[in-house]
A and B are shown apart, each in its own frame.
Chain A
């Protein structure tokens, strides 16, 4: 019963106050339509600025919620997003900043393999992500486990992902030696 009440209060809290973003925020390179917001005061206006990460403000200037398209150059950008609120008396509030880390993940081309080939490292960058797909064994691709065919391998990290197709072919069948 106590657990149920705790969960209920947590849900109410999230609905009331919205989610909280940890600073720095992580976005995927070339992400589009990413939405940022602050708690709304109906009589206030909000002035947003995007200063780094190749970001451009797309919609919502003046309101408490905006969308941003991000660039493709990875890295940490300090104060990439900031906003200040102006109340109904035209008084500006303090600047509120958010650092943004633009994450570019990569997964090199792999294969094709022959059935029976040994395991091959998948080599996703940066390190620390997770691989999914048929034939994935830890951080490697196993053609034997995968079997014949083309397999989609996905590498995911920090909410971003990328995919490659890996093909496993059958071994060539060599006929008996003939004598003309």
Chain B
């Protein structure tokens, strides 16, 4: 009875949170805060993607605050194990579900028997790197960075829904550091 109760609680827990994303980490170089024109490199790592209900990982979306510009991919996701397809850098893509994706990397499944909108069979780890620049601005614009990881249940590639509620992983929070312009009083020789 105790065992049954434990299993029941576990199932309820998995259904409620549908968490497939585990062990995320990031390195951001140099460390903030940031000023206009500064170039920042971000390394993101997803330790493990749990394939709940055969839900496969399909996309990494980079969410940037308005203060960033010049997002540049440096290293595409490297998933552990075999993957039938490739990770494509994309600025925008609308998935069959209507999900508007981008920018980031999305997996294009190339198996002859499958669907391009199925994700990758890999469970990780995935490492990737990108670079962003602080825009030239006069206001303390938002410099947040976060990563959203999508399973193919979100994209319409797989209908066995799960892993649809993993929150975006916060990489950086801050605003552009603006140096005040202090002009002296006018002097007359």
Residues of chain A touching chain B, judged by Cβ–Cβ distance below 8 Å, are 18-21, 23, 25, 27, 34-39, 44, 46, 81-85, 87, 89-94, 96-98
Contact = CB atoms under 8 A, between A and B. Distances in A.
A94 B138 contact: no
B82 interface: no
Interface in B154-189: 178-179, 181-189
A126 to B, nearest CB: 20
Interface of B: 36-37, 136-138, 178-179, 181-189
B185 A87 contact: no
B186 A21 contact: yes
B188 A89 contact: no
Contacts of A46: 183
A90 B136 contact: yes
Contacts of B181: 44, 85, 87, 91-94
Contacts of B136: 89-90
Contacts of B186: 21, 25, 36-38, 81-83, 96-98
Interface residue SS majority, chain B: loop
Contacts of A84: 183
Given A90-B138, A91-B138, A91-B178, A85 B187 contact: no
Contact of B183 (A25, A38, A89): A38
21 contacts: A19-B187, A21-B185, A21-B187, A21-B188, A25-B186, A34-B189, A36-B186, A38-B183, A39-B183, A39-B184, A81-B186, A84-B183, A87-B179, A89-B137, A91-B181, A92-B138, A92-B181, A93-B183, A96-B184, A96-B186, A98-B186
A39 B186 CA distance: 8
Contacts of B187: 18-21, 36-38
Contacts of A96: 183-186
B188 A35 contact: yes
A35 B182 contact: no
A25 B189 CA distance: 11
Given A89-B138, A91-B138, A19 B183 contact: no
Contacts of B185: 20-21, 23, 38, 96, 98
A97 B184 CA distance: 10
A38 B189 CA distance: 11
Nearest 4 interchain pairs by C-beta: A93-B181, A91-B138, A39-B184, A98-B186
Contact of A25 (B37, B138, B178, B188): B188
B73 to A, nearest CB: 26
A88 to B, nearest CB: 9
A36 B187 CA distance: 5
A55 B181 CA distance: 27
Contacts of B179: 87
Contacts of A23: 185
Given A89-B137, A90-B136, A90-B138, A37 B183 contact: no
A133 B125 CA distance: 96
A129 B188 CA distance: 21
A72 B162 CA distance: 83
